[in-house]
Amino acid sequence: MALAIVCAAAAAIVPTAASAASSWRLEQPAPPPGAPFSVPLGAPGDIRFAGPSRGLLSVEGNATIARGLFFYDGVRWRQLATVCGGPADTSRIAWSGPTEFWTITEPSRPRAGSGTALCHVKDGVVVGSYSTADSAADPYRQMVAAACNGPNDCWFAGGGAQDPLGQRVGGFHLHWDGSDLRTVYAPQGRGVSAITVFGGRFVESMFVGRSRENRTEPVDLARPELRGPRILHSIDAQGFRNEPFVAASRPGLPDDATELLAIDSDGVNLWAGGGGAASGPAAPEDGSVVRPPIAVRRFGDFWQEVALDESKFGPADLITAIAAMPGSDDAVAAVSTFADRRSTTAKARVARITP
């Protein structure tokens, strides 16, 4: 396993010596026309590409820049919409076709609740906006993950929850079948951190707890999870299932000390990453379990925890985002700490992981 880590200030990213032919450069979207000042766009929520000239970026906005979406055309970023965005913690994008996508957003006033609404855009036009009232018989719960396998098969996922009557309990999901949205509660009630498509099915990375940084509420499990939390789940035509992976035990740490924060596939390789749990009973108050980051790769029919050179990382580093690199077996991961998770001044760190 080879590992190269690049550190840079938030305003600039420098090339890695391990790959002299390639380099990182700043690609900061400019403010939209008419903005009174040249200012940052606010915290980014998600960035997704459907091709070299079709990219989307959701931004939280600020006092000067409106919350919304930016589009990359292969040359530059431009403002696409001042709707369908949302807070950075919950705003997510899922491409469902060459000119069609969904976003997790927040409902229009008077309704409220980040991550509790969906926006459907096709050919540059909003063709659907979906949310529910808090008093609805089947309300939407907060969602933080989204993926589509074509225009007629999309999943949106969040944390452990239940319906108002307590009859349906588990991990909250919404499924789009091309015509309708349907609420689904996964049997194992851990929170979903991210979701991707691989081999015609959906695969989810999981928090240990019911949701991000939820340390107190117990997780509703339809079936006991032996030897430790199952932090990879999949969805196919037969329903939900636990993937055959349990994080390797580490001396002095409980079985529930590790969670996954990100997952991605290029269609050939499937990678997930995370680190010390910041949710569940093992997580310290306002912090994460101190352990090195974890990288996991689907290898054939099996999951493999990739051995990392721990000397390259700090004791509390986390892999907070990961991307499978097309044309290779490698992955590129963003590395941070729990303390820096919302920092606007911390140095950016990127690791290239080779199995």
Q: Is the dihedral of CA 294, 217, 165, 105 positive or negative?
A: negative
Please give the pLDDT value at position 64. 83
Flag whether 277 is in a domain.
yes
Q: Going by C-beta distance under 8 Å and a sequence separation of 6 or more, which residues neighbour residue 56? A: 46, 47, 48, 49, 69, 70, 71, 72, 80, 93, 95, 101
Euclidean distance between CA atoms 264 and 243, whole angstroms = 15
Q: Are the CB atoms for 275 and 319 separated by under 8 Å?
A: yes
CATH number at residue 153: 2.120.10
Transcribe 34-84 into DSSP letters.
T-SS------EEEEEEEETTEEEEEE---SSSPSEEEEE-SS-EEEEESSS
Q: Are the CB atoms for 11 and 19 separated by under 8 Å?
A: no
Token couple for 96: 């469902």
Please give the pLDDT value at position 9. 37
pLDDT digits over 267-310, tens only?
999 999 999 999 999 999 999 999 999 999 998 889 999 999 99
Predicted model pTM: 0.92
Flag whether 87 is in a domain.
no
Please give the pLDDT value at position 39. 67
Residue type present at position 328:
S
Flag whether 46 is in a domain.
no
Count CB atoms within 10 A of the CB of residue 211.
23
Flag whether 25 is in a domain.
no
Count CB atoms within 10 A of the CB of residue 52.
9
Using DSSP, state whether 351 is helix, strand or coil.
Answer: strand
Euclidean distance between CA atoms 37 and 63, whole angstroms = 11
Please give the pLDDT value at position 301. 86
pLDDT digits over 9-51, tens only?
332 333 334 444 567 777 778 888 777 666 678 888 999 999 9
Using DSSP, state whether 18 is helix, strand or coil.
Answer: coil
Number of H helices, E strands in the chain: 0, 24
Please give the pLDDT value at position 21. 58
Euclidean distance between CA atoms 173 and 186, whole angstroms = 7
Please give the pLDDT value at position 269. 95
Please give the pLDDT value at position 38. 66
* Spans of the chain, pLDDT less than 50: 7-20
pLDDT digits over 320-335, tens only?
999 999 999 999 999 9
Flag whether 168 is in a domain.
yes
Domain that holds residue 192: 132-353
Cβ-based burial of 143 (10 A; exposed 0-12, middle 13-18, buried ≥19):
buried
Torsion angles phi and psi, residue 164, rounded to 5: -60, -25
Flag whether 117 is in a domain.
no
Token couple for 17: 């010596």
Q: In what order do the strands lie in the sheet with 348-354?
A: 2-8, 348-354, 331-337, 317-324
Q: In what order do the strands lie in the sheet with 258-265?
A: 258-265, 270-276, 294-299, 302-306
Flag whether 256 is in a domain.
yes
Provide the domain count of the chain. 1
Flag whether 227 is in a domain.
yes
Alpha-carbon Rg for the chain in angstroms:
20
CA dihedral 59, 65, 71, 77 (to 10 degrees): -110
- Per-residue CA distances from 201 to 155, 230, 270 (Å): 11, 18, 12
